[in-house]
Amino acid sequence: MDAYLEPDNITYLNSVHPALKNARDTSEWLKAEYRDMMLYSSKEVIITVRNFINAPSEDNFNLAILAMREDLRDKNTDLSATEIAIRPPR
């Protein structure tokens, strides 16, 4: 998201994702990440990231980051390790 907001920062992203060469690559990568996050993120995260993609600004960036941090704090404990184990413990 940082490189989307500040295209010159793609330099720092290249070390992790060498295929990203320009602002268009960054934009398409962010859109792909957005589609993936629909599987696991809260509605608030999805909406704030969508807003950031549609209108990149410091304010929209900060709102998306705050939504993500809140999402990470939500520790859903409705499953146990035993319940998700492929093989139940002996």
For residue range 34-67, list pLDDT tens digits in order.
999 999 999 999 999 999 999 999 999 999 999 9
pTM for the model: 0.77
Angle at 74 (CA atoms; ends 26, 81), nearest 5 degrees: 105
Model pLDDT, residue 52: 95
Provide the terminal-to-terminal Cα distance of the chain, rounded to the nearest Å. 46
Model pLDDT, residue 90: 66
Query: What whole-number distance in Å separates Cα of residue 34 and Cα of residue 87?
Result: 33
Confidence grade of residue 88 (pLDDT, cut at 50, 70, 90): low
Mean pLDDT score, 5-22: 81
